[in-house]
Amino acid sequence: MQNDSVQGLGVNPRPQLNAMQKFKLAVMPKRETKSLSQVLDELSDTERQRLESYAKMLLMTASPSSGDYKAQIQRMYPRLDSGLQLLLAQLLQEIEPREIAPDPLIKRHNDKMRYFDELEAVIAMNKPKPVADSISATFNQTASDSNSSDNSIDFSERGSVQIDIPATTEKPKGRYDQFSTLIADADGNYANKAAFMKQLEPVAAEVSGQLGIDPRIVMAQAILETGYGSKVKGKNYFGIKGKGQAFTTHEEVDGLMVKQKDEFRTYDSLEDSVRDYGLFLQQNKRYRPLLEAKTLDEQIVALAGSGYATDSKYGDKIRGIIKGKTFKELIG
């Protein structure tokens, strides 16, 4: 009798799939894993150049508190497509691996929470009894020790001591950090340089990436115009004139400083001010040389010659800020 079985011929039988595996195979499309090089090859020249610009800005503005690439990208380019964000993070990790260090702000927050938890436990263990309860207990104990019921005094029905707690005052308007600490007042003036730079740096990188200029230009202008965020009105961090609020400023005219009253734009936030600054440069032809300049020095020269400010030493001041010790320390 002829045996049609293939057993013993070196052919491994196909494994049997269960119902769930068959269903998954039927409905799930086949996925091909592509290398980063293959993904880059599929991008257009414009998309690739855009990613290169973002990558340069991310590496240039990196600091010890930047976190991993994905977190830094989400802060600096929140409007970028999530798929491009992930691709950019993978590319940067490939060419410049970053060891993820604990975020110092998160660590400080956790330390604070741990301290308050321990403090609360200590208070609960050593919490004194209310005054009324102590008095009542004392007199009730005295009464119970007395043999005469006529002389017993029971304070248990007496009202407890009331303490008037003032109503919680409304928090002043302004900007707060994740620890509910006020870092900027309602007009946009920051408590210190570090707090100002922490808020400015991500959006400056975002806008500079769109403009194709060095982010240090954007940050230095905001610093020069506001004294590191300490002299701000209407959350206008670049001194852009327009409908909003009027106040007196000092302008250089024919080499002399004179008082002038002008109207300046107002904004809802620092981020809005920086983004409008970017649009302002894009919409005015006189700033085209700045946007076309390649190096930092070329961009400073172009900015100084554009007439952005009446100050004849504007370019030198921008350069001085960027090369200064304080600026370098604050941007890491």
CB 239 within 8 A of CB 309: yes
> What's the average model confidence in pLDDT over 26-33?
69
The secondary element (H helix, E strand) that includes residue 256 is strand 256-265
Pairwise CA distance, residues 250 & 256, whole Å: 10
- Please, what is the angle between helix 82-95 and helix 45-60, to 10°? 60
Closest CA to 266 of 249, 247, 242: 242
> What is the domain partition of the chain in residue ranges?
36-95, 104-141, 176-330
pLDDT (tens digit per residue) in 93-130:
888 887 765 555 556 666 666 766 776 666 766 665 55
Q: What's the one-letter identity of residue 186?
A: A
pTM of the entire structure?
Answer: 0.53
pLDDT (tens digit per residue) in 292-305:
999 999 999 999 99
Close Cβ partners of 159 (under 8 Å, ≥ 6 residues apart): 132
**DSSP string across 194-223:** HHHHHHHHHHHHHHHHHHTS-HHHHHHHHH
Pairwise CA distance, residues 231 & 229, whole Å: 6
Q: Give CATH for domain 176-330.
A: 1.10.530.10
pLDDT (tens digit per residue) in 181-201:
778 888 899 989 999 999 999
Pairwise CA distance, residues 21 & 139, whole Å: 78
Chain mean pLDDT for the chain: 78
Q: Is the pLDDT of residue 5 over 50?
A: no
* pLDDT grade for 172, boundaries at 50, 70 and 90: confident
Antiparallel, parallel or unpaired: β 244-253 and 256-265: antiparallel
Residue linked to tokens 């230009």: 217
Closest CA to 73 of 88, 63, 91, 90: 88
Strand, coil or helix: what is 157? coil
Strand, coil or helix: what is 255? coil
Q: What's the one-letter identity of residue 188?
A: G
Mean pLDDT is lowest, of 12-26, 108-122, 132-146, 196-210, for: 132-146
For 294, the token pair is 């390649």
Q: What's the one-letter identity of residue 264?
A: F
